[in-house]
Structure 1
């Protein structure tokens, strides 16, 4: 029996102060047992207006501070996040369902991102361009775009807000963060770290509310100069249209993926099958870069699936606080229904259900690790992002064939391929249409490298030097002696 508790006061953070009572609330549900953890206050229109005013004044203060002053505060926030990683990770495990080790790892990796941007903010370099006239100089400057409205999801409730907030702050921008209502505690704990680090009032504001109402109100404001969003393609397109309508605001968007996993016939089948099965089900497949379409070359197709099923069948699905848990619940009842629909549709198209395919008979939002074989391209799961613990398998003959199948969708976030051939590795890395590609690796994310997609999987990149540039605009100055 675990002794940890969900211990945090939920509220809105506006102009350096926390607001709690006197508002409509929404229950925060523990996906492992469906109990109510807390009631989350939701922002009123007055709260949003106050946040906009605070972001405007916060930007005026923050953008005028030196890069070294800003770096010191952001770096202190990162240090506090490391110190409080156990608390932050525990909150994530309660409200998201991810295992304690995963929550702790996310807390620390989020702090690493914040620390990296604390330093990168010093490198918002412009350049001096030789001029055509004597006694003159041409300057290209990089300056902060202005107050940012950021909208982040529940699946990585600290890492995604951390990379957005840290990059914007490092660039000199203020932020209004509308985080996920399903996972407010861990994001609140992150915001508290920035407050305790000495961030001036109004530079970071945290709100929760009815998503459509909040996004439409914030994006329509002249205060907001840029919009950052992580979520689905349809919602991203809607927010992009709002941003275009209300001032052609700068956009940074990560809009999900449907990552192909290509396994060639020249690999260690048992090793790759074991690794990918453990990775796929660890967070119930609820990651935008999770492999979601498994293409296995004909020569090893049967052996790979057999080993994958063997590993998946032994995984212990359970609460973050149960000993030896290896696979998490899905986040909410909607994901349970979606998983069921994908499985039924695939079977109706001729797929073979080899494992799982149903909700577990216990409290909580638990869906059994599920494996489908011989899934045709017409099945929904081969065309729509499943975002759950369901794996569809299909075989292929040649690399040319599988590249065509892997690239046929509108998605282009992540892609993975395993091969023992350097020639095939080059062919796959050149041919795959994705913003992030793992060849013989599933690690495609880190503070120092860009995170973003192509096609309809997004606009721009987060992390890396690209993440800082997302919140900067270019100013050219031609200066001559009078």
Structure 2
């Protein structure tokens, strides 16, 4: 299982932690089975990981439950200092972690370094929020008693993360959970598990007590997660992934009335008005579309460009997309890495072929790369019809689908014509119009003249079928708290 790469890595992936992390100990799964992890840049296996059984998962819940009272009783300042050490260690090891993310995920090394910095920042942010879980004391309107409000840790949390941001999606959940005083079981995606296991060892080094964070990987995700959600000791589910899977998990969680945070799919519109700064809009489009090669829930999916600027915008974006260097993620020269697997290549190819058959013009790319690995050429399509499947589904790859519009009301209606509502992007030189359109868009987040909005200090999340709850900001720690009211007289 050698890594076939023109670039020499600073570590051997076969020597990284790959067993289950339960109760502060590395252990193989009870079945003894292993799963292979692949490098999308080559299609070759690079390591194997433990395959947890249902019993392993329930052992992880037991470990989290046992550790919960001690961690909840730990002083907020002490919890915050441990989280701060997690931040420091991640920043100190940013280069190695970025290489690892690029290896198992395929994203470019520059994107991976950005992810590590972003992921670490959740520990710094929530290290500060840990000491700011303030309650309230006020008088009842009748004057009969005082109202005391406290925020207490909700309990054992099951955290489920996707493959596209293997560090950030984990720390965005673990950091607020720990800051609030909760313990957790993390189940990362089997496509990118090595990052989660390496970070588990880092948490231990930073001083996270045994059992507070547990990490398991499994080939039987449905049955394993279901067993955990039906364990009465579990009181929280935080999930990032597709809307389809999110719906199923909400059904599962309903049986035990488990609190759920859901960060689900997106279908982000990118709206460019005639009066927009063209170069700024192009810069923003490249960030919003090509961060992580388009494999992001925040990726711009539908480009709506006003007629007066459409030709210039399409040409500028085509030139930029066509110039991107495609290659192995961990090659420092790469600007666009591979997709996560063969299925992704075939699915995106089908979307593009359908759009072209329905009249769209290919301005750049348009097909898969025939080299080893899972590559699809950076692609620009113009004249895409409003009802094309590529505008109704999340592309999750390096494909731009451009449509034109004339009237503000029409583009707002088109942008809102989706079950999703995670994020939208608006470019205009008229601030009043920008704010007006931003308010009318059915979206949990809006990038106004910006192609990047993610920030640990901001509430991340969507509306409609893009999710429930928020991650980051002070809102993120409240997702892991129960509010208690005490009536008292003195």
Tell which deviates more after alignment, 446-455 or 322-331: 322-331
Q: Is the 8 A contact 2:282 2:316 kept in 1?
A: yes
Aligned mates of 2:283, 2:149 — CA distance in 1? 51
Q: Does structure 1 residue 390 correspond to structure 2 residue 399?
A: yes
CA–CA distance in structure 2, aligned partners of residues 3 and 305 of structure 1 = 38
Per mean C-alpha deviation after superposition, the further-off stretch among 322-331 and 338-347 is 322-331
User: Aligned pair in 2 of structure 1 residues 60, 461: CA closer, same or farther (>3 Å)?
Assistant: same
Aligned position for 1:66: 75
CA displacement 1:388-428 (0-9 Å, x = unmatched): 11111000001111000000101100100100012211221
1:3 aligns with 2:8: yes
Structure 2 residue aligned with 1:16: 24
Give yes or no for the alignment of 1:86 onto 2:91. Answer: no
- Compute the RMSD of aligned alpha carbons: 1.5
State the SS of the aligned residue for 1:353: strand
Structure 2 counterparts to residues 154-169 of structure 1, below 5 A? 154-169=163-178
Q: Does 1:181 align with 2:186?
A: no
Task: Determine helix, strand or coil for the equivalent of 2:69.
Answer: helix
Q: 1:53 aligns to what SS in structure 2?
A: helix
Residue 284 of structure 1 pairs with residue 284 of structure 2: no
- What does residue 112 of structure 2 align with? 103
Q: Which runs of 5+ in 2 are unaligned?
A: 1-5
User: Which whole-Å deviations, capped at 9, do the CAs of 1:42-94 have from their partners, x for residues lacking one?
Assistant: 11222112111111111111111111121121111221111121221111010
Superposed displacement of residue 323, structure 1: 4.5
1:426 aligns with 2:431: no
Secondary structure of the structure 2 residue equivalent to 1:296? strand
TM (normalized to structure 2)? 0.95
Residues 228-261 of structure 1: per-residue CA shift (max 9 Å, x gap): 000011100100111111x111011100201000
Do structure 1's residue 226 and structure 2's residue 236 form an aligned pair?
yes
Q: Report the Cα offset of residue 270 of structure 1.
A: 3.9
Superposition deviation, residue 279 in structure 1: 4.9
For 1:182 and 1:116, the matched residues in 2 are separated by 28
Deviation at 1:288, TM superposition (A): 0.4
Farther-moved stretch of structure 1 (3-12 vs 64-73): 3-12
TM-superposed CA distance for 1:219, in Å, is 0.8
| Matched residue, 2:3 | none
Whether contact under 8 Å (1:29, 1:35) holds in the other structure is yes
Instruction: Pick which of 75-84 and 456-465 moved more.
Output: 75-84
Where has structure 1 moved over 4 Å in runs of 4 or more?
Answer: 132-136
8 Å contact 2:68–2:183 — kept in the other structure? yes
- Contact kept? 2:288, 2:300, Cα under 8 Å: no
Q: 1:409 to 1:135 in 2, by over 3 A?
A: closer
Matches within 5 A, 1:184-203: 184-203=193-212
Matched, 1:212 2:222: yes
TM-score normalised according to structure 1 size? 0.97
Residue 260 (structure 1) aligned with residue 260 (structure 2)? no
